[in-house]
Chains A and B, each alone.
Chain A
């Protein structure tokens, strides 16, 4: 954004960026489904929506990282194809990504002029001039010689914004810029938005926090399942009370209860038609209640993990889970869910606090025990990282089924592998969990995501589980496998096996769980019992409400 052009006013009738009918399909997912929206000069346009609603795909199309399958992009009325990030920059569209893109060992100035070489040399004096100019527009002080890695997170973000604005005369796109910021940093960012807006720049900004959208946005668009679910224009945003606006947005985001239940009901009917013999699926539509819930089986006392640049950590988590209970962990992804799962599984040591597990009739302290010991006591973990962590892709299905039992009888005797036992174990898992694989010896990486999930589920639940941590158990699965996984969790709960279910999908948690703990920035900010009002309560907590 040049200082001169900063003073220009809206002169044309056509919107700055107008996208029409954008559709993008990835294998198995329709990420963007006929999305149309317009981005105006001098406006902050907020994109809201659940994880997987298609926000990130949309901005990666705008920033030239992804090409749409269909649809057009008009920039100031001219149809334009954005084929690469470089082209997006040349069009004046700068993007600040969720992950850091600064080289930590270089100085601020070096980072900024890195991508803007003229010939073979770096033009330092020109870079300094541009940096001063942008810093004054943003109203901040920037030390060009500071090493990027030494800066605090919010300072680094300012540099990321300056980097995106370097050639960005048209639009600035930010993917969840407030996720890692403290409230003061968010306020500072809001001020910067005001200054940039005044200069005629368009800002597109993704957030999960409703109050940020209401306070900082001029226009709000909500995406849901790849489609535009609704939008709120500038006039309404300015005139309406924030309480009312918030209710409206929550309704657009999660849908009213009626339509939600309607969809689920239809889905069950379809499955039953397909498999009339699976009458047990009928249970899936029934409520989660009606089970007897026993004594506490897992207890967390003030469990804490230090925060790090990449994580909020965990702060004084206190939770108790009863035998046969299904506890849901709700919240926007990246707020401590993975950390909680790993701490419970024994993959990560707590920094302070205690964890107790019911074993041999009394609660025993387990926070110093490893994965294997906890597994033998009946605590199991179904990781969400199916290919990256939960399985070894280059090894067979049968070995992956005993991966957490290396050295245990009957699969190993005197440290020697008992191939027959491992084979038998695999055959029974393949049979009982309907794992579609050419054979037990097939490399697990050749299986589909759903079948890998079945292997993991079989491994974690086959021999006497007491409590199972499920991290996003149905993420990316087709409908039938999804229902099978949910049914398995429910069935085990009926047999007294507790579960902790972490999910980004509220609908899934509402379907499965007896209680919910809502996580935000590594803290439990509320516990909600399942019931008619649960969805609204959780929705309120998730979008930055206070503890009710």
Chain B
């Protein structure tokens, strides 16, 4: 009697659900490209990128004002130097090349749920080996061959430097955040050591030990008569290739499954250990390549102690872009504008050079805050303020 009652109730519930989903369908609550989803996309873009950017500019402006400088002049210089002036824009584009390659390496790793934070070591080992060998090798072979050989070598070295963390993760499940950071510390110092011990230039009277200089004519070819070297193209191609790979290929889907749900990866029969190693190698190769491109395109040599420490700034950018290649390119451009423009703007305003980084940090913080609120809104949760006022009222009521 009672059992059958329960059965009946459950069946009615099920019917109610069925009706609800049918009415959803009628109301056009289906996914797929529609008018509402396009406005939704624009709204999201505004909310998640433009608004935080404006908030960061405003906050930074107030800080500059508080320091007794003119914020409008400051931002004017950033825009002029970073985008408007031809030489500044070239600097910006040059700066983008290694950042894009690093971003490509991070997209691969993060999509697969692998925290490769050892990019600096991988980058510098690639850079140092190329810096040490490029000039000598260019004596022995034509430029094109030398460049391909050097780029390949930098990628191979960067990839090789991930093998220890990769095997430790794949074999024993050891946390790669620790191992990649430790290997990075070793790599950074080893890169410096390589320059001092093996690749020291025979020139005399140097204050800082460095490698031989690669002739400007032997470096990466520049684009359209500007100073922008073809590393930018390599970087753009890398990010777009990774973007497409993650979305349309078997390897991309396998890495995405691995990153989204390791248990499901096992369950679906994916070779998890192998995929982890592949992810590390790919990621490290892009990092090493970034180092090679920076030396072959811009520096032409490597000094002992050289470490631009580019990778950790790119980490939050890639996350905020949700591993989307196109958005990453836009963010990397923004970062480059802010750093190149910021260098001059801070100098003119008499502010410390780190002030440019402060603006970058503000942008990142505001973007993260926007993400947080958006995620809460999607989950239908109450806002922080509502929750806080609830708690205060509850405490007051309880007499605490």
Contacts and interface: CB of A to CB of B under 8 A. Distances in A.
Contact of A392 (B3, B25, B264, B271): B264
B354 interface: no
B248 A479 contact: no
Interface string A367-389: 00011100100000101010011
Nearest to A402: B253
Contacts of B263: 385, 388-389
A442 B24 CA distance: 13
B235 to A, nearest CB: 24
Interface string B336-376: 00000000000000000000000000000000000000000
Contacts of B249: 415-417
Given A412-B250, A417-B249, A480 B14 contact: yes
Interface stretch (B5-13, B136-144, B221-229): B5-13
Interface in B234-265: 247-251, 253-254, 256-257, 260-261, 263-264
B107 to A, nearest CB: 16
Contact of A347 (B3, B13, B247, B267): B267
B266 interface: yes
Nearest to A264: B3
A441 B21 CA distance: 15
A403 B268 contact: yes
Contacts of B315: none
Nearest to B3: A263
A353 interface: no
Contacts of A100: none
A432 interface: no
A448 B16 CA distance: 14
A371 B269 contact: yes
B36 interface: no
B108 to A, nearest CB: 16
A42 B270 CA distance: 55
Interface in A416-457: 416-417, 436, 438-439, 441-442, 448
B267 A438 contact: no
A399 interface: yes
Interface in A342-385: 345-347, 370-372, 375, 381, 383, 385
Given A478-B13, A480-B11, A395 B260 contact: yes
Contact of B3 (A266, A388, A442): A266
A412 B249 CA distance: 8
A101 interface: no
A505 interface: no
A391 interface: yes
Contact of A389 (B4, B17, B264, B269): B264
A390 B31 contact: no
A35 to B, nearest CB: 15
Interface string B48-81: 0000000000000000000000000000000000
A522 to B, nearest CB: 21
B269 A439 contact: no
A270 interface: yes
A345 B245 CA distance: 29
Nearest to A275: B11
A448 B261 CA distance: 19
B30 interface: yes
Given A270-B11, A448-B17, A480-B14, A442 B264 contact: no
Interface in B136-181: none
B261 A393 contact: yes
A407 B269 CA distance: 12
Given A407-B250, A442-B31, A270 B7 contact: yes
A380 to B, nearest CB: 11
Given A390-B264, A438-B31, A439-B31, A266 B269 contact: no
Contacts of A407: 250
Interface in B15-39: 15, 17-18, 21, 24-25, 29-32
Interface residues of A, number: 42
B256 to A, nearest CB: 7
Given A263-B3, A270-B11, A436-B21, A417 B253 contact: yes
Contacts of A442: 31
Nearest to A405: B268
A406 interface: yes
B25 A438 contact: yes
A307 B13 CA distance: 44
A436 B13 CA distance: 14
A537 interface: no
A391 B253 contact: no
B24 A438 contact: yes
B4 A266 contact: yes
A403 B248 contact: no
Contacts of B29: 438
A21 B24 CA distance: 40
A407 B267 CA distance: 16
A474 to B, nearest CB: 13
A271 B269 contact: no
Contact of B269 (A370, A390, A416): A370
B7 A406 contact: no
Nearest to B251: A415
Nearest to A227: B2
Contacts of A392: 257, 260-261, 264
B32 A371 contact: no
A533 interface: no
A371 B271 CA distance: 10
Contacts of B13: 478
A394 interface: yes
Contact of B267 (A263, A390, A479): A390
Contact of A416 (B24, B30, B248, B261): B248
Contacts of A391: 264
Residue of B32, B261, B266 with most chain A CB atoms under a 10 A cut-off: B261
Contacts of B31: 438-439, 441-442
Contacts of B261: 388-389, 392-394
Interface of B: 3-4, 7-8, 10-11, 13-15, 17-18, 21, 24-25, 29-32, 247-251, 253-254, 256-257, 260-261, 263-264, 266-271
24 contacts: A266-B4, A270-B11, A370-B271, A371-B267, A388-B263, A388-B264, A389-B264, A389-B267, A390-B264, A393-B261, A395-B256, A403-B257, A403-B264, A406-B253, A407-B250, A416-B248, A417-B247, A417-B249, A436-B17, A436-B21, A438-B24, A438-B31, A442-B31, A479-B10
Given A392-B264, A417-B253, A438-B21, 10 more contacts: A263-B3, A263-B4, A266-B3, A274-B11, A347-B267, A399-B253, A436-B17, A441-B32, A448-B17, A480-B14
